[in-house]
Structures are given as C-alpha cells and as structure tokens.
Structure 1
C-alpha cells in the first residue's frame, strides 16, 4: 500500500502506548492499536484505535487479512494469556510476523518474603498460613478464587469495580497507578494488612507495593505469569520491539 506497512499492536499496557507513540512518527508505517475494552475509560494510544475482541483466532486472522497487516506485536498484559495464544495461531495462519513485547518480571531482593503461586487458586490456598487481612491487587476479575475464604478480610484494588463472585468480607479501592512507596506504606498501615497478593506484572508503576511490603515485613504471594506461546520472539522493551520491526518485510 504505497510502501506503507500496516502494524497491529495488541495493546492496553504502558509499553503498548509508548510503542504506538514512537511508531506513528514513522511515515512508512500505519499503526493500529487494538484494546480489549475491559476498562471503562482506557488510556488511548496514538494512531488508529479499535476496541473489542476479534472473535477468537479465526476472527483475528480474518482481520489481519482484510486490513492487510504486515506485522503483529502482542503488547498485552503479561496475564492476558488467551489473546496471546490467539495471536500466535492467527499470525501463523496468515503468515504475519509476530513479536511479543513483555516487560521483565519482578525479582525478589534482600528482605523480601515472597511466596510463589502458579494460579489465583494456589495463591488463595497459601493465604490462611500467612495472614488474615489481605491486600489483593490481582485485578477485578478472578476474585471467585478467594470467595471461600470467609474468615479473611480483603482490600481489593482495581481500576473498575469487581465483577462476579467475590469474598464476603471485602472493601474495594478504585484506583489506577502509578503508586508511591509512601502511599502504599500508609495503605498497609491504615488497613492493618498482613499479607499481599499480586500478579507478576513487572510494571514499575505498581512495584511500590512490593517495596512497602518489604519495609513492613508483610509477606507477598506472587502469582507467576503464563508463558509466551512457543516459538514467538520476545522483546523486553519498546526499543527492542522497534528494532525487531524495522527489518520485517511486508507479509505476502
């Protein structure tokens, strides 16, 4: 299309917005960002934006063909596993180059009391031995995994109100990062939090809670992120994604 390559970014993360902002400045690229639409008031990236699902891998493959996409970059949240596997399947079907942009995960340091969990259910199983007042920062979905813990109290922080089954003893805090260490320490103190549950999102904007937990001696249950689909190359930052994209030829 007149020498202009079409890049689709599966977005919703800070890195996705940063990548879109950098790529739209290139006149040889047409940049479209796709957002899942799960947040009521998402932060919109530069360039073209579409909101909503594709209808599984078949729908995404059809969209890639119809819109003549030349490169696909999966810059979704590290825990948005379904769309990542849909992207891998669709890209393989349409023969569109695919890259996963994943920020590095968090690493425990001196003084951290971290407990590894493979899932939200495993995190819930670990809680009774660690504390009674839980700061739950795993998002508004998946709270049903903790609903059976009737004797525990939960402070749930999310951007939008929780949905579905939730713990019976719960307070909801609607807020969006970035957060400060001072603010997180005050939150732990005010609510008498004795255990923190988080997903290994790796985001600097939400890492302050880990520093606050370390200072307060609060144990942290860290849910491991799902793997990137086999065979998909990974960039750990925007510069790496840009470097991958530059030599990618147009799809046949």
Structure 2
C-alpha cells in the first residue's frame, strides 16, 4: 500500500490528509512539529515532534516504507523544508512541496517589501509608531530594541521572549473577516502593519483592511523552497502528481 508522509501544520496539509485518507488504497501520515498545543483534527495517522534532522527523517522514511513525501509546511519553515529535501535525496523517495501562492498587491496597497524580520523592524520608525505585528510567535527579538514603538502582537500561541517593551499580546486564530480586522486596526489605532507573505485566504483580510484605511504594510518576502523539489500550488496538483508516480 502506498504510504504518503505529509509534513503538515497548514490548512492545505489538512485538506491533503483528508483527500488521501479517503482513498482506501493509500495510507497517509501527517507529521506536526508540536509547536501548537491544540492542532486542528486530522484524517489518517498523526505523529508529533521532530525527526532529529535530515538523517532522522531519512531513517523514518525507510523504516515506515514511505513511498512519497509532501512538504506542506508553512512557507517560512525553512529548516524542515531543507531537511525534507535532503532526506528525500538520500532515500530516493519522491518529494513535492505544497506552497499556497503568495499574496499579490493591488491598486491602493502601500506595501514595503523586506527580506527579513530584522529588515522589517528597521523599516518601522519611518512608517509609524503603533505597530500591528502578525508574523507569528517566533523571531520577535528583532523588534525588541525599538522602545519608542507600541506593538500589538497577534499569534495562536504565546510568543517567545525577548519581546518589545511596549507590547500587547492578542491570542487568536484565523480565519479573520475584513470587518473584524478593520475594527481591530481602528480600536488599537494601528498605523503600520507587519506580516509575512504567507499567502492564503485565512489571514488576508488584514491586507484588505489596511488598504481601506490607507495604512502602510511591511511584507517579509517568503524564502525560496529548496532546489530539486517540485513546487505545486494546491491539493489537486499534489494528488495528480502522486497519481502519476503511483503513490
């Protein structure tokens, strides 16, 4: 029986697991890093925790007779994506990367593209003083030195220190609505938004709200996926590729 390992943590990974689990002739296992304490329910088998680097992942692929590997992690999860590519090469297991398309700017957007969180932090003093920070719970140390700014930080789990001195934490999970995001920006008197180019619809409402309020948005560009791993944009494309490979 074909055995597909999905490196998950995204909406697309959950949809892919459900589609594969519906196939009576396919086994699917979704691996989660364990950073979210209450992950959404998943179809098929689920494992929690890391593999111990590319060698550990390669060993797991062999021991569990995996016939295809799908990296459906967050576009910014560069370490696990690199490990997946190396493990696939070492074992000869066919691999795909499932990456939702990035966001596209439209007329009215005031986007400031940067390469990293450090660059995002450095851009803020010239753009505003009240910052809505939606880059997740990791990497906030880049913003800690900016004592003159007020930060509203939203994440699913409590963020890891060090944090900015003047900060308010908002624990919440999408999807979000344009009306809700607009009200939030107004309530907290936000004058600049910071986000990663995660893509997808679940958190895109903040961009529409920022556009309507004429707010600048600092957008951290997503990193390139590892070379040698084909990239597809949706679950249907993954299923088609797996069908072609007999997985």
Q: Give the TM-score normalised by the residue count of structure 2.
A: 0.99
Q: Does 1:82 align with 2:79?
A: yes
Q: How far has the Cα of 1:44 moved from its partner?
A: 2.7
- Out of 182, 190, 196, which is 1:185 matched to? 182
Residue from 148, 153, 159 that aligns with 1:162: 159
Pairing 1:38–2:31 present: no
**Residue among 49, 64, 68 paired with 2:65:** 68
2:202 alignment partner, SS class: helix
Give, in angstroms, the shift of residue 40 of structure 1: 1.0
Give CA deviations for 1:179-200 in whole Å, capped at 9, x if unaligned: 0000000000000000000000
Cα offsets for 1:4-52 (capped at 9, x unmatched): 1000000010000000101111111100000000011111310000000
Alpha-carbon distance in structure 2 between the residues aligned to 1:207 and 1:153: 23
Partner of 1:129: 126
Q: Match for residue 109 of structure 1? A: 106
Q: Secondary structure at the match of 1:155?
A: strand
- Per the TM alignment, residue 164 of structure 1 is displaced from its structure 2 partner at its CA by 1.9
* Stretches of structure 2 lacking an aligned partner (at least 5 in a row): none
Q: Does 1:198 align with 2:178?
A: no
The residue that corresponds to 1:14 in the other structure is: 11
**Count of aligned pairs:** 247
Q: Which string of whole-angstrom CA distances, capped at 9 and with x for unpartnered residues, describes residues 48-86 of structure 1?
A: 000000000000000000001000000000010100000
Unpaired stretches in structure 1, ≥5 consecutive residues? none
How much has 1:203 moved relative to structure 2?
A: 1.8
Provide the TM-score with structure 1 as the length reference.
0.97
Give the corresponding residue for 1:244: 241
**Cα-Cα RMSD:** 0.7
Q: Distance in 1 between matches of 2:116 and 2:41?
A: 30
1:59 corresponding residue in structure 2: 56
Give the distance between the partners of 1:226 and 1:150, measured in 2 at CA. Answer: 29
List 4+ stretches of structure 1 deviating above 4 A: none
Match of 2:97 in 1: 100
